[in-house]
Structure 1
Amino acid sequence: MTGSWRVLLVLSLFAASVPFWPVQPQQAPTNEAATPWGADYFPNPPLLTQDGEKVRFFDDLVKDKVVAINFIFTGCSDSCPVETARLRQVQKILGDRVGKDIFLYSISIDPYNDTPATLKRYAEKFAIGPGWTLLTGEPDDIEQLRRSLGLYIEGLENGRSKDHNLSLIIGNQATGRWMKASPFESPYILADRLGNSLHNWKQASAMANDYAQAPEVRSPSSGEQIFRTRCSSCHTLGNTEPGMQQGIGPDLLGVTRQRDASWLSRWLKAPDQMLAQKDPLAMLLYEQYNRLAMPNLRLGDAEVSALMAYMEEETTRLQTPLADTAKP
């Protein structure tokens, strides 16, 4: 027998002595394995809705959903009402998609005071619609959620701190795409991210875009920037933009001519103090607009001056043509 045949015989005898293990087909990874933002990452504590229903954070609220989540407390007098009003605008833009393929959640950081009944009254004040759930729970569970979502701020407990402006996160749990967003962001941008980009543009847009119809772009003044980022959540200014919803507060066109300048300046800087002092006009507005308190936006003298100048400029721009057409 030649050397090569001896080698082949040895190999064949060795192979015959090794037990056979069938090869298992490789399974495709599931969504849970494809993203680190799955059940192993998110806490799943019990929470209570504004209707007193018990839910689990991961299982019932975020699993396989596109969501927007923020942390508020109903006793807040500055950024929380602005955030809520901004999300209300987003809900109006998205329409009946909220509650179907997009879900909004506001979780209280003051569970000792924000009972389901308190949250329900808050939702009614802001005319919050279906698909947007307000939640409360145990303090330790809520802190764990804030930490896991990257929205925890040291020292912000039970609403005792005012430094909580950046407290909104949006994402798609199934794909693992998450991003923080500013509560002062344009509602149209937030709605586009929730309705289009986080859905990978699966829903075709019904709008026909035409460059010929695009508005002229101009650089906004500092007063306009303040109005768009701080005031437009609750107020309109002439309600001239296509598709703009009526605000939860009064339209401000002409307000610089209807109110005393010193009163308006004080109101823009410290509305909470004026309400606490029972200023007659401040109390009238409070009662007239569903007992929603004007939030303290922490504006300084320069910002108030710029804002009032912008509102006066817009009043002149929009009301003057109307006055001209009224002449015989």
Structure 2
Amino acid sequence: MVLQRKISVHTEIPEEELAIGELIGEGNAGAVYRGVWRGKYVAIKQFKKEIPFEDFIKELSIMSLVQHPNLVKCYGGVTNGKKWIVDELMQVNLSQVLLNKHIQIDYGIIAEIAINAAAGIDYLHNHCNLIHRDLKSMNLLINTYKTHLEVKVCDFALSRVISKKEQMTGQVGTVSWTAPEVLVGRKKYNEKADVYSFGIILWELVTRREPYKEMNPVQVILDVTRGKREAIPKECPPELKRLINACWAAKYKQRPSMSSVIQYLRKFHKGLSSVDKAQITLNVTTLIGSSQKSESSDVPLKNPSQSSELNISQTEEQPHKFRSSQITEPISETTSEED
């Protein structure tokens, strides 16, 4: 699938069909509200007035055309006097999960989250010729069920259509997740900037910490562009450490493709013992509250028939110890990219 530069394909949603509930997030582009549309819970992104209508239509069109199990689904938009995008509503973002110490996460779950996120990013790169440009743990959304979880990439506001030979210029994204070639503002960059951001996300999965939390943006830029990175814990499996170092390599030509990352993670996951892969308690109710309570108070519509469980199946066992897999090959690839 190749997206052209001038695209405008979406489902127009009448404003009167939407019931808008509570505010669930804000950003530079606008605000996101919980809502209901045709009997299902949705996320309604309302763009600020100063956002150019052309930019809004670009994102709406891209979101409408790009469909993958690991990308947030767009139902349509409101363009008649408004700049709204209506997406599927997910339960929680990855950052909220990682920073909640009541949630246990083993290496099996880490691998599953990483594989699913990488699959969505890889689809953007190789099937849509898109780079995300603002990948971070807050832009990875999660739904949990009794037997599995879903991970989906969201927020395509900064995505850009590129050809295979084209590279982007200009600094965008969130500093702590931004690749050095983007931070310096002088070098052209491509989809490998997303790979760098994915490396930071892997570090978050392993450490359950915010990257560069104690540093101001200027300090982060200076350290990252000089080749300094966050410390990887000693207890991190060598396979994951190798992957993290490869993804956040200083030179983008040394970083693997997302396709290579997926293959590597699958081998890592396969090498885990059955105990390591056991389902864990992942209760996000404390993070998002009761869906019945939060929506019924603000949205005057009947509860949708489509609902999801908030808990992965529980286990009485203690946190599992990691057993190293047998992956020994380096995560690298040859490329014809120029420095």
Larger radius of gyration: 1
The alignment's TM-score, normalised by the length of structure 1, stands at 0.27
- Higher helix fraction (1 or 2): 1
TM-score norm. by structure 2 comes to: 0.27
